[in-house]
Structure 1
Amino acid sequence: MNAFKNHFLIGLISTSMVAISCSDDDVPPEENEEEIINEVTLTFTPAGGGDNVIATYVDADGEGAGNPVLSEIELAVGTTYTLAITMANTMESPAEDITEEVEEEGEEHQLFFSWTDGVFSDPSGTGNIGASGTVNYNDQDDSGNPIGLSTTWTASQRAGTGEFRVVLKHQPDLKSATSTSNDGETDVDITWTININE
């Protein structure tokens, strides 16, 4: 009888310890870490053929003391381009492809754009950062809302210089047909010099 009681007590204590060790207090809090994006590439592909125009942003040390290096965007007057944007964290080894993550989590991300008025003939205006301007998006998430990894642009018929700004917003549980660049957290905010050349 004593042996039975001892086994019963040992089993009861073991079960209690397992239940205690699996309590919610022991589960680490879920972290929503901000992605490190230290390299962004813009690739403008001309609709009629010809060489791609590539502009880059590289911040070799991330948030360190070193300044990022940007190349300028050089487009030809009146030419229509498809813009593809790629992003990476090259501080990881191997480098982490952030583009793929943004595409897979399209319902949580959107790229917004602004530019100097007159730099493009289509879309016209100054963009949709802090405004309700139009952008020619080529890609959508599963809900039919734009992502912005692929867009279409037609350079102005006149030569000139201006700015081209790209903002990536992370909008979990916020993104909708009416969400704007003011919603969510900013993952990328870069402004390039853009030249429209004869």
Structure 2
Amino acid sequence: MKTIKLLSILFISSILLQSCSNDDDTPEEVNEEELITTLIATLRDASTGSSVTLTFRDLDGDGGDDPVVTPGTLAANTTYNGTIQVLNETETPAEDITLEVLEEDDEHQFLYVIGGGLNATTEYTDADGDGNPIGVTFNLTTGDASSGTLTFILRHEPTKPNDGTPASAGGETDISAPIPVNVQ
């Protein structure tokens, strides 16, 4: 009889312990980063309206095949109004990730890195709700004839405000797209 009582108490205790488990923990929201395969930068001459399109397309992501890059030739001593579009072209139709960047503008920023002797400067022309740059729209002003690379970097969760450099911005790189540019 004692054995039956003991087994009954152990059985009831185990049921009570299981029913008291803490299932109230709310799981953290998972916000997966979008796949970005393509960056298109359109530069429109502020005085003539003519445009130059720079593209960086890497459909297989890091590694694998080299990206397909369309360089551009810009006029010397000219200001261009620029816009950037980022896409996921592994989907049909291609998903426009630019919409998400604008929707989550406080969590994104494009950086522009001018290298290799390119004589140009950039200026942000858009801002998030806190007045910090986003970089989907910008101005690019060329100097005298030169050539080099214009690298567009999209950062997720950057430190804002920052000085526009990758070191100052921090965050994670969603895409880094180096594109050769000639100024004539």
- TM-score under structure 2 length normalisation: 0.78
CA-CA distance at 1:100 after TM superposition:
0.8
Deviation for aligned residue 1:24: 3.7
| 1:97 partner letter | D
The runs of at least 4 consecutive aligned structure 1 residues that moved more than 6 Å come to none
CA contact (8 A) 2:39 2:56 kept: yes
Q: Which residue of 2 aligns with 1:149?
A: 136
Per the TM alignment, residue 160 of structure 1 is displaced from its structure 2 partner at its CA by 1.8
The alignment's TM-score, normalised by the length of structure 1, stands at: 0.73
C-alpha RMSD over aligned residues = 2.4
2:60 maps to which residue? 61
Q: Are the equivalent residues in 2 in contact too, given 1:109–1:175 (CA < 8 A)? A: no
Aligned partner of 1:175 among 154, 159, 179:
159
SS, match of residue 70 in structure 1: strand
Residue 41 (structure 1) aligns with: 40
Shift of 1:32: 3.2
Q: Which residue in the other structure is 1:89 paired with?
A: 88
SS of alignment partner, residue 101 of structure 2:
helix
Is this contact kept in 2: 1:107–1:175, CA < 8 A?
no
CA 1:37–1:195: 2 relative to 1, 3 Å:
same
Q: Which amino acid aligns with 1:23?
A: D
Post-superposition CA distance 1:47-81 (Å, at most 9, x none): 11242100111112234622210011210111110
1:114-193 correspondence runs (5 A):
114-116=113-115, 117=117, 119-120=119-120, 123=121, 135-156=122-143, 158-171=144-157, 175-178=159-162, 181-182=166-167, 183-193=170-180
* Structure 1 residues not aligned, in runs of 5+: 1-18, 124-134
Equivalent residue of 1:101, what SS?
helix
Aligned partners of 1:146 and 1:181: how far apart in 2? 14
Q: Deviations over 1:102-157 (max 9, x none)?
A: 0111100111111135512xx3xxxxxxxxxxx4110000000000011111111x
Asked whether the equivalents of residues 118 and 181 of structure 2 are also in contact (C-alpha less than 8 Å), the reply is: no
Taking a change above 3 Å as real, the CA distance of residues 94 and 24 of structure 1, as seen in their structure-2 partners, is farther
Matched position secondary structure for 1:107? helix
Equivalent in the alignment of 2:103 = 104
SS at match of 1:100: helix
Taking only the aligned residue pairs, the percentage that are identical comes to 37
Please name the residue that 1:12 is paired with: none
Partner of 2:15: none
Query: Does the 8 A contact of 2:118 with 2:149 survive in 1?
Result: no
Please say if 1:23 is aligned against 2:23.
yes
1: CA distance, partners of 2:57 / 2:101 = 19
Aligned partners of 1:66, 1:195: CA distance in 2, in Å?
25
Return the offset for 1:29. Answer: 4.6
Secondary structure at the aligned position of 1:83 is classed as strand
Residues matched between the structures, number: 163
